[in-house]
Homo-oligomer: A and B are copies of this chain.
């Protein structure tokens, strides 16, 4: 942990100070909890009253606010806050382990300079690993895997044979990458396993959450595009292709051969059926069930998923179904009465 002056922080994030530049900041905190010696941020204007009442020493804002805290005015306060958390607290420091003599590394594996390997890590034959990677205990890297520079593999993560991993990739604990796709040919009532000869490609800057399961492709690779971030317990089917800079929140499931464009945001527990095409910059609400192609820029919610503008209202009306049904019956009764009244005239 570092201590910095408001001025040092403002210079670091490229912001303008309103107030005492010399105030010392020791830690980052939330808008609700920040107190003396702490910095927080305001990105959603609806929380402006909280800034006015905050005990924080400093606050990152996009526009000046009336507050006792020193303000650092910057275009994107949330991004600046991220920078400040890195500055003050840093990313996790990995225990220095060198190459543990309790690891099991194949003689043909090649490890770049600065790469560290903890105890009980297995690295298979013909694996190539770049520089400054870190392998936590229990990680297993199958044969013929290629890994770039500056990657981190957390405990018990598993990368199957032949997968290809870029630079600065992070794989959290107990995640599986490259297990066999769920592919079987059913013949006379029995399911016959189809060898899965594709691999998995994790491009640069991808992060894979804890407990994820990313299947290898049947014939072609499963691909997670550059900078995409995958939450915990996400299941990705064989041959799925996810474009760059997507966010997949925990417990998403994507079936085989579906494709996503770039900059998509997929909410928690969303399911996407196989072989469909999701465009660029698509936003999918939590628990949605996506069964058709989705055009660029769409926002969809619900199961089955439909345009969010329609869907939020439509799904909220399910609650009124009993009332609607009753009204239909009442109308029918009134109509019948009138009709029979007419008949009877």
Chain A residues in the interface with B (C-beta under 8 A): 28-30, 33, 76, 78-79, 81-82, 85-86, 89-92, 95, 100, 102, 104, 106, 118-120, 122, 124-125, 136-138, 140, 142-143, 154-156, 158, 160-161, 170, 172-176, 179-180, 182, 184-187, 189-195, 197, 205, 207, 209-213, 215, 219-220, 227, 229, 231-233, 235, 237, 245, 247, 249-251, 253, 255, 263, 268-269, 271, 273, 286-287, 289, 302-304, 306, 310-311, 313-322, 324-325, 327-328, 331-332, 334-335, 338-339, 342
Shortest distance between the CB of A275 and any CB in chain B (Å): 11
Complex partner residue of A235 from B86, B220, B233, B319, CB under 8 angstroms: B233
Complex partner residue of A176 from B158, B210, B263, CB under 8 angstroms: B210
Shortest distance between the CB of A220 and any CB in chain B (Å): 6
CB-based contact A195/B249 at 8 Å = no
CB-based contact B235/A232 at 8 Å = yes
Given contacts A89-B195, A138-B138, contact A314 B310 (CB under 8 A): no
CB-based contact A215/B232 at 8 Å = yes
Alpha-carbon distance A138/B273, docked complex (angstroms): 33
Q: Which residues of B contact A255 (CB under 8 A)?
A: 249-250, 268, 286
Shortest distance between the CB of A88 and any CB in chain B (Å): 9
Shortest distance between the CB of A203 and any CB in chain B (Å): 13
Q: Which residues of B contact A160 (CB under 8 A)?
A: 154, 173
Copies per complex of this chain: 3
Q: Which residues of B contact A124 (CB under 8 A)?
A: 95
User: 24 A–B contact pairs at CB < 8 A?
Assistant: A28-B197, A81-B194, A119-B122, A120-B138, A137-B140, A138-B156, A142-B155, A160-B173, A174-B176, A182-B250, A184-B247, A191-B245, A191-B247, A193-B207, A209-B213, A211-B235, A213-B232, A268-B271, A287-B289, A304-B316, A306-B318, A317-B321, A335-B335, A338-B339
Shortest distance between the CB of A91 and any CB in chain B (Å): 5
Best-surrounded residue of A158, A189, A229 (most CB of chain B within 10 A): A158
Q: Which residues of B contact A286 (CB under 8 A)?
A: 255, 271, 273, 289
Alpha-carbon distance A39/B249, docked complex (angstroms): 38
Given contacts A175-B174, A192-B82, contact A320 B331 (CB under 8 A): no
Q: Which residue of B lies closest to A194 (CB)?
A: B82
Closest 5 CB pairs of A and B: A213-B232, A82-B185, A176-B210, A140-B155, A122-B137
